[in-house]
Amino acid sequence: MLKSRMNPRVFWGASLIIGLLLAAALIAPGASDYAFSHAQAWVIDTFGWFYVASVAGFVLVVLVLAMGPTGRLKLGPDDAEPDFPYLSWLAMLFAAGMGIGLMYFAVAEPVQHYAAPPDAVPGTFAAAREGMVITFVHWGVHAWAIYAVVGLSLAYFAHRKGLPLTLRSGLHPLLGRRINGPIGDAVDIFAICGTLFGIATSLGLGVAQINSGLNYLTGLPTGPWVQVGLIALVMGAATISVLTGLDRGVRRLSELNLVIAVGLMLFVLVAGPTGFLLKALVQNFGLYLDHFFERTFNLYAYEPRGWMASWTLFYWAWWIAWSPFVGMFIARISRGRTVREFAMGVLLVPTGFTFLWMTVFGNTAIALDMGTAAGAITQAVQTDLSTALFRFLEYLPGTAITSTLAVLLVAVFFVTSADSGSLVIDTIASGGADDTPRWQRVYWCSLQGLAAALLLLAGGLGALQAATLVAALPFAIIMIALSVGLIRQMYADVAGREIETEAPPLAERVKRILSPARRKDIDRQIERHGLPAMEAVAAALTLGGMETAEVVRGEDGAELVVHHPGWSDFRWSLVATSRALPAFSALNAPEGRRASEWRLTGRGQDGRQHDLTGFTRTQIEAAILEQLERWRRG
């Protein structure tokens, strides 16, 4: 019998909803497309102001938390070190956050705005300038602020507060223990469905571009059945990657992705109008800053037009719909970084690379279209977006080589989106566990590929995309709640004081560095030092006049609960917690598994975590008394 590690309500509830939505798209693709498209149009038309205001608020929240005193807080214990080197971390951010979209829209979107801008005469230099500014707005800081809100909330509550790495954990300051009930289950199910369908639609776009590239290079026919075969091949590679885990599969592919992407971009930069592109990059960035506030809040309220709904509001809804996936993924890889480092890294570094990418491809395409291409690139974009990149590369030297690299890059983006998405979904469905059985990861990876393939055959990809965007509305509300809870918790932590206890002896600290504690070591410490310390404090409190002071044993530790008339309860717990060591650690794990270290964690009244590994009974008593003193002072 297969072993499992899951939250059954979330795992099977999400599976059932996904199955029902797929069945509706397959049985009645026309009706579902009509229903979801009209729902999407109604939501964007009615709540467009809400999307714009929310996204502006998310940018402000991330900047305030990064630049204020909360920026010094660690995403993990105060002594935590980052799990991944900085460049590997940035590579994974880049691959998961934009991925296939950068390849699909790098030429297509600037050219579309150039051909049909909202405020300029089409096909002019003014249209070219406006097209690049709009592209920067859609793919810049606003998108990454949306991701950062979700990622920062999850990383903070999971890595610093010890809560499961699931969406519900970010609501803990608002809901308390109710996050473990139906409300929390609903939030996690919602996140899984949005993530899977969002990835499925992106995979549909990606496989269409791979098919177009192979058709251009080898004459391979284009069509749904060919694309289904390509999905099967690429998802096979994604399955292998997801089985190797985050450190080996996803990390290595993300680094490969970044190398190929930079190589292709540098080639276009050198082979294209280099001097013009460098000037355009500087000017595009300046225009972006100049138009930042105007584009952030612009809704064309005084001169209504359909362009806003088709572009900016569509993008805001799309990034919000993708935020559970990308936010969860970047939270998982960001343990040990400070809030400021996280926010600045997530906001600025991928945005800067995206600006360079869009300038190199977009401005080169527009320059060629205004010159030697004589409008052919615009025509190709209007005919079939998936062929735009390859038609563009025809006007540069080494077309066969660059087109091959482009196909390879899309394929690797395809794999990284699928495998990182599978890991994220499996983490949510298993209540935040990161050591789930392999069959669960394969299940979600296969379900993603199956959803994309079935919808391609049934023609239901448009309906699914519309449904994903409709789902962005309630998730935007959830994101606001995550922001409120994050601000409340962070500022409470900044206002609190650290536990002042004697550090473990030098020999004990050296031992922990060279030989991280195992679970049985922590269990032994709880039995020999932790429980006696808690029981001694409970007995002293009872003698001192407290109504009740008791120690409650649990599976992973124990909790001291103190009741006093007229006061809120005091709670302080000792729990055994683990974290996986980085893949590049010199410490080896048995049976080829990733090495882990266990810690004895004390959680005080304010929810903060303190590493008490190696502490004696006397030291643990001092830690409890420090928290009691804070409780007494209110």
DSSP string, 499-556: ---PPPPHHHHHHHHHSPPPHHHHHHHIIIIIHHHHHHHHHHHHHTT-SEEEEEE-SS
Is pLDDT above 60 for 438?
Answer: yes
Q: DSSP 3-state assignment of 568?
A: coil
Compute, in degrees rounded to 10, the torsion defined by CA atoms 296, 297, 303, 309.
Answer: 60
**For residue 76, is it within any domain?**
yes
Report field, pTM of the whole predicted structure over 0.85: no
Residue type, 166: T
Identify the pLDDT of residue 86: 79
309-362 pLDDT, tens digit per residue, is 888 988 898 888 888 888 888 888 888 899 999 999 899 888 998 999 999 999
Q: Are residues 352 and 306 in the same domain?
A: yes
**For residue 495, is it within any domain?**
no
Q: Are residues 414 and 513 in the same domain?
A: no
Q: DSSP 3-state assignment of 496?
A: coil
**For residue 499, is it within any domain?**
no
In sequence order, the β-bridge partners of residue 600 are 576
Q: Are residues 440 and 517 in the same domain?
A: no
| SS3 of 291-357 | CHHHHHHCCCCCCCCHHHHHCHHHHHHHHHHHHHHHHHHHHHCCCCCEHHHHHHHHHHHHHHHHHHH
53-107 pLDDT, tens digit per residue, is 999 999 999 999 999 999 999 888 777 788 778 777 877 776 655 566 788 888 9
Q: Are residues 456 and 510 in the same domain?
A: no
523-560 pLDDT, tens digit per residue, is 888 888 888 888 888 888 777 666 578 888 877 788 88
353-399 pLDDT, tens digit per residue, is 899 999 999 999 999 999 888 889 999 888 888 788 888 999 999 88
For residue 452, what are the domain limits?
Answer: 8-490
In sequence order, the β-bridge partners of residue 578 are 598
Contact 469, 43 (CB under 8 A): yes
- In percent, the amount of the chain with pLDDT more than 90 equals 24
Q: Are residues 445 and 566 in the same domain?
A: no
Q: Are residues 189 and 69 in the same domain?
A: yes
For residue 625, give both structure tokens.
């008394």
Q: Are residues 470 and 549 in the same domain?
A: no
Identify the pLDDT of residue 587: 38
Identify the pLDDT of residue 421: 78
Q: Which of 624, 627, 629 is nearest to 532 (CA)?
A: 624
Angle at 77 between CA 632 and CA 478, to 5 degrees: 85
586-624 pLDDT, tens digit per residue, is 334 433 444 567 888 888 766 667 778 878 888 888 788
Q: 392: Cβ–Cβ under 8 A, 6 or more apart, which residues?
A: 107, 361, 364, 365, 368, 377, 380
Q: Are residues 473 and 619 in the same domain?
A: no
In sequence order, the β-bridge partners of residue 580 are 596
Q: How far is CA 568 from the centre of its chain?
A: 37
Q: Are residues 254 and 338 in the same domain?
A: yes
Residue type, 417: S
Q: How many domains does the chain have?
A: 2
